[in-house]
Amino acid sequence: MSHIAFIGLGHMGAPMALNLLKAGHTLSVFDLVPSAVKTLTDAGASAAESAQAAVKGVDAVVTMLPASKHVEGLYLGETGLLQHIAAGTLVMECSTIAAVSARKVAEAAAAKGVRMIDAPVSGGTGGAVAGTLTFIVGGTEADLEAAMPYLEKMGKNIFHAGAAGAGQVAKICNNMLLGILMAGTSEALALGVANGLDPKVLSDIIAKSSGRNWATELYNPWPGVMENAPASKSYSGGFGVDLMLKDLGLAAESALNTRSATPLGELARNLYSIHSSQGNGGLDFSSILNLYKK
Ligand code: NAD
Domain covering 3-163 in this structure, CATH number: 3.40.50.720
Claim: this prediction has a pTM higher than 0.85: yes
Q: What pLDDT, on the 0 to 100 scale, is given for residue 110?
A: 98
Indicate whether residue 285 lines ligand 1 (CB < 6 A): no
Per-residue pLDDT for the chain (294 aa), expressed as one digit of tens each?
A: 999 999 999 989 999 999 999 999 999 999 999 999 999 999 999 999 999 999 999 999 999 999 999 999 999 999 999 999 999 999 999 999 999 999 999 999 999 999 999 999 998 888 999 999 999 999 999 999 999 999 999 999 999 999 999 999 999 999 999 999 999 999 999 999 999 999 999 999 999 999 999 999 999 999 999 999 999 999 998 889 999 999 999 999 999 999 999 999 999 999 999 999 999 999 999 999 999 998
202 CA distance to ligand 1 centroid (A)?
35
Known active-site residue 171: yes
Res 96: pLDDT: 95
Which residue out of 22, 104, 156, 171 is catalytically annotated?
171
- Ligand 1 centroid–CA 96 distance in Å is 9
Q: Domain ranges in the chain? A: 3-163, 169-291
* CA 243 / ligand 1 centre spacing (Å): 9
Closest CA to 229 of 275, 273, 185, 191: 185
Q: What pLDDT does residue 237 have?
A: 80
Judge if the beta carbon of residue 10 lies within 6 A of ligand 1: yes
DSSP the chain: --EEEEE--STTHHHHHHHHHHTT-EEEEE-SSHHHHHHHHHTTPEEPSSHHHHTTT-SEEEE--SSHHHHHHHHSSTTSGGGTSPTT-EEEE-S---HHHHHHHHHHHHHTT-EEEE--EESHHHHHHHT-EEEEEES-HHHHHHHHHHHHHHEEEEEEEESTTHHHHHHHHHHHHHHHHHHHHHHHHHHHHHTT--HHHHHHHHHTSTT--HHHHH--SSTTTSTTSGGGGTT-SSSBHHHHHHHHHHHHHHHHHHT---HHHHHHHHHHHHHIIIIITTSBGGGGGGGT--
DSSP-assigned beta bridge partners for residue 284? 240
Our mutation pick for probing the ligand 1 site, out of 38, 65, 239, counting the most ligand atoms within 8 A of Cβ, is: 65
Does residue 239 line the site of ligand 1, with CB under 6 A?
A: yes
In the CATH hierarchy, which top-level class contains the domain 169-291?
Answer: mainly alpha
Measuring from atom 3 of ligand 1, which residue has the nearest CA? Answer: 10
